[in-house]
Amino acid sequence: MAIVGFLVSYYIYEKKHDQETLVCLVGHACNEVVYSKYGRMFGISNESLGLLYYATTALIVVASLFGLQALFGFSLNLIIFILTIPALVFSLILLFIMLFVLKTICEYCLLSSAATIGIFIIEFFALY
């Protein structure tokens, strides 16, 4: 899920960095959403925040696969879960803005949100 989210965020980052039009498969409003005033939070682009979140999550998963969990003495799943809570809230806020403020759909944004929700669900059940 983290790899999917990272790839989506990277695609958006590259397109915005090069000031290119996003190719939307389902709708034609991806550019309206991505280039809107809601495309940045706290002065940082949403896709940059996504890249940071998904890369961190993927690195923690890889660390846990290599047994580094025992080295740290605590659950790396818990760290991912804690990181995912604000990411999930942020993602849900952006989904609300996209659907009810901008009144349009961007499939890349939906895919990124689905990745975050997926990570949350996986980590929730991994902990409980």
Mean per-residue pLDDT, 1-10: 96
Angle at 16 between CA 10 and CA 22, to 5 degrees: 85
Number of H helices, E strands in the chain: 6, 2
Spell out the domain ranges in the chain. Answer: 2-127
What is the band of 42 on the pLDDT scale with cuts at 50, 70, 90?
Answer: confident
pLDDT at 69 over 70: no
d(CA 2, CA 53): 8
Mean per-residue pLDDT, 32-61: 93
Neighbours of 7 (CB within 10 A): 16
What is the band of 65 on the pLDDT scale with cuts at 50, 70, 90?
Answer: confident
What CATH class is the domain 2-127? mainly alpha
Q: pTM of the entire structure?
A: 0.90
Backbone angles phi, psi at 127, to 5 degrees: -85, -30
Q: In the structure encoding, which two tokens stand for residue 76, read together?
A: 């790396």
